[in-house]
Amino acid sequence: MTEDDINSLDPDVQWIVAEARRPVTMDVAGRERLMEAVRAEAQPGRGALEWMFSRRTFEIPPFAAAALAAGLVGIGVVSGLLFHRDGQQADRPRAEVAEIPQLPGSIAPRAVKFVLIAPQAARVSVVGDFNGWDVSADPMTTQGADGTWTIFVPMQPGLHTYSFVVDGTHFMPDPAAPMAPDDGYGHKSSVVLVGGSSL
Partner 1 sequence: MSSDAADVQRVLNGDVDAFSRLVDRYYERCARFAVRMLGNRDDAEDALQATFLRAYRSLGKYQERDKFSAWLYRILVNQCRSLAARRNQRDRVFVREEALLLNAPDRSPSWTGEDEEFVQRVLAELDPLLREAFLLKYVEEMSYEEMSTLTGVGVSALKMRVKRACDRLRARWERIKDD
- In the complex, the residues that contact partner 1 under the rule CB under 8 A are 4, 6, 9-10, 12-13, 16-17, 19-27, 30-31, 33-35, 37-39, 41, 43-45, 50, 129, 132-136, 161, 165, 168-169, 181-186
Closest CA to 188 of 176, 171, 166, 170: 171
- Between 7 and 89, CB nearer to partner 1: 7
Q: Which of 117, 126, 121, 125 is nearest to 91 (CA)?
A: 117
Strand partners, 78: 97
DSSP category for residue 87? S
Alpha helices, H only, the chain? 11-20, 28-39, 50-53, 62-68
**Closer to partner 1 by Cβ: residue 76 or 190:** 190
Cβ of residue 58: shortest distance to partner 1, in angstroms? 15
- Residue 63: CB minimum distance to partner 1, A: 29
Q: What is the end-to-end Cα distance of the chain in Å, rounded?
A: 55
Minimum gap (Å) between residue 136 Cβ and partner 1: 8
CB of 71 or CB of 184, closer to partner 1: 184
Cβ of residue 171: shortest distance to partner 1, in angstroms?
9
**Cβ atoms of 176 and 97 closer than 8 Å:** yes
CB of residue 189 to partner 1, shortest distance in Å: 8
Whether the CB-CB separation of 189 and 159 falls below 8 Å is answered with no
Nearer to partner 1, 75 or 171 (CB): 171
Within 10 angstroms of residue 121's Cβ, the number of other Cβ atoms is 20
Considering beta carbons, is residue 37 or 145 the nearer one to partner 1? 37
